[in-house]
Amino acid sequence: MIDKMEAVVYTAPNEMTFINDYHSTQIDRDDDVLLRIESVGICGSDMHAFHGKDPRRNPGLILGHEFCGEIVEGTHKGQKVTGNPLITCGKCEYCLQGRDNLCSDRDMIGMSRQGAFAQYMTIPNQCLVHAPNTMNSNHVALTEPAATVVHAVNLAIESSFKPISECNVLVVGAGAIGLLAALLLKSHGVTMTVLETNEARHSCVKDHVGVNPVNPITDSVKEDTYDVVIDCVGSEKTNALSVSSVRAGGVVVNVGLLSWSSNIDIRKITLQEIKLVGCYTYNMEDFRSALKSIENGDFGDLSWIEEMPLSETNLAFQSLHNGTMASAKVILKPSF
C-alpha cells in the first residue's frame, strides 16, 4: 500500500491540479493489483472532461486511462503491463460473445474509478495485458488508442466489398487516433487522404505517413470519391463531410465523439447503400493485437510522441486546448 503519491486531479473545468502528497487509493477488491505508473497518455476524452463537457467525469477525479505500469502489489510482481480501462462483467451476452466493449454493466478507469495521472493506480487483474519488460514504456502506453484504431480498421475491413488494400480511404483528423489509423492503413498498403485543420500537425503526417494532409477549411474535399471514410473527430461538420465524400456502396466508420448530436444525409445513405458503422473502443482481442502491432512496428517508430513530466500536466492540457501542441500525443511521466 502507498500512503501518498504525486497525482493530477481534475478540479474544475479548464483546471488540472498537481498534488505531490495525494492520499493514495489502496487495493479494495480481491482481484485488484497495484501498479507503479511509468507513462500515461492524454486522450481526447480527457480533454472533453477538462473542458467540462463530459457529465460522466466530474471534478475531484484523477483522469488517465492510456498507461504503462509495473505491478508492485499482486501476482506477477515486477511485470510491465498495460491494461484495458473497461472493467466489464464477463457474464452478460456481449461479454460472452467477445464484444465486451458493449457490456452494459461496466466501470472505467479514469471515469468511474481513479485513473493513471498519478504515480500509482489500482486496476483489476482481469484488465491487464502483459508487455515485454524491455519494451519502451511510452509505446506500451499507446496500446489503448491503438486498440481503438485496430477495432476501427477491422470494422472497415469487415464492411467493405473490396480488400482494404484496394480501397481509396479518407481519414478525417490527424490527432492521435487519426494518425494511428493512417499509420496502420499504411502498413496495409492503402492509398489514402488525411484531413487535418491544425497545420502544425501537417509535417508529422507527411513525415510519418508519407502523404500530404489536406486542410478542409481551406481546401475542398471531393464528394462521392472514397470507398472507406474513417471519421476520427466526430463533429457535426465532419459527420456531414464523411457522408458527402463517400462513394456509393462505400463505408463510413465513425470513431470520434466530439459532438453529442449529428445531422447526416440519411437520404444519400439510403439511396446509395452506404454503410454507416459506429465504432466504440475495442475488445480484449483488439487490445492484445494492438500491443503486438506496436511491438512489430506496424505503427512506425512512434517518434512523434511528445513527453512531459506529470507535474506539467496542466500546461500540457492548456497547450492542447490552445492548439499550440503540434504533437498528436502527449505522454506524461511521473517522477520517482
Reported as a single tens digit per residue, the pLDDT across 268-290 is 999 999 999 999 999 999 999 99
Confidence at 2, pLDDT banded by 50, 70, 90: confident
Antiparallel, parallel or unpaired: β 107-108 and 86-87: antiparallel
Structure confidence at residue 6 (pLDDT):
94
0.85 exceeded by pTM: yes
User: Residue 262 above 70 pLDDT?
Assistant: yes
Structure confidence at residue 55 (pLDDT):
87
Confidence at 1, pLDDT banded by 50, 70, 90: low
Percent of the chain predicted with pLDDT > 90: 87
Q: Report phi then psi at 28, rounded to 5.
A: -125, 5
Percentages (nearest 5) of helix, strand, coil residues in the chain: 30, 30, 40
Structure confidence at residue 314 (pLDDT):
94
Confidence at 109, pLDDT banded by 50, 70, 90: very high
Reported as a single tens digit per residue, the pLDDT across 170-210 is 999 999 999 999 999 999 999 999 999 999 999 999 999 99
Region 225-239: what's the mean pLDDT?
A: 97
Structure confidence at residue 35 (pLDDT):
96
- Report residue 239 as a C-alpha cell: 459527420
Structure confidence at residue 26 (pLDDT):
61
What is the residue-averaged pLDDT of the chain? 94
Structure confidence at residue 163 (pLDDT):
97
Residue of 163, 170, 224, 221 lying closest to 189 (CA atoms) = 163
Structure confidence at residue 75 (pLDDT):
86
Structure confidence at residue 260 (pLDDT):
84
> Which residues in the chain belong to E strands, given as ranges?
4-12, 15-23, 32-41, 66-73, 80-83, 86-87, 107-108, 120-124, 128-130, 168-172, 191-195, 226-231, 246-254, 275-278, 306-309, 330-333
Structure confidence at residue 24 (pLDDT):
72
Please give the domain boundaries of the chain with CATH numbers for all domains.
Answer: 4-142+305-333 (3.90.180.10), 146-278 (3.40.50.720)
Structure confidence at residue 132 (pLDDT):
97
User: Residue 27 above 70 pLDDT?
Assistant: no
Percent of the chain predicted with pLDDT > 70: 98
* Chain Cα centroid distance, residue 253: 15
Structure confidence at residue 23 (pLDDT):
85
Structure confidence at residue 46 (pLDDT):
93
Tell me the torsion sign for CA atoms 136, 23, 83, 46. Answer: negative
